[in-house]
Amino acid sequence: MDSVCARLSAKGQLVIPAELREALKLTAGTEVSIQRQGNTLVLRPITSQFIQSLAGCTRGAGHEREHAHGDDEER
């Protein structure tokens, strides 16, 4: 795995080094998914392949959301 260091700016911005952007074909405006796994951040370009990989991952989430927020209107 390639490993590089980068510095977070005062505005919370992070620059992805050019060699990684080129290798992953990232261009200005590319949307990126950021996922937290413990103390690690995982960045993934949002591509059609990425979106297809999400299919079914929220199955049953509607029931859980309704259970957790069913009384929201009462508040």
pLDDT tens digits along 39-73: 999 998 887 666 666 667 666 656 655 666 566 66
How much is the pLDDT for 10? 96
Amino acid in position 40: T
Which residues neighbour 43 within 8 Å (Cβ) at sequence distance 6 or greater?
16, 32, 33, 34
Taking residue 48's Cβ as centre, other Cβ atoms within 10 Å add up to 7
Which residues neighbour 36 within 8 Å (Cβ) at sequence distance 6 or greater?
42
Local confidence band at 3 (pLDDT 50, 70, 90 cut-offs): confident
* pLDDT tens profile 9-42: 999 999 999 998 999 889 998 889 899 999 999 9
Q: Is 18 left (phi over 0), alpha (psi -120 to 50) or beta?
A: alpha
* pLDDT tens profile 4-14: 888 999 999 99
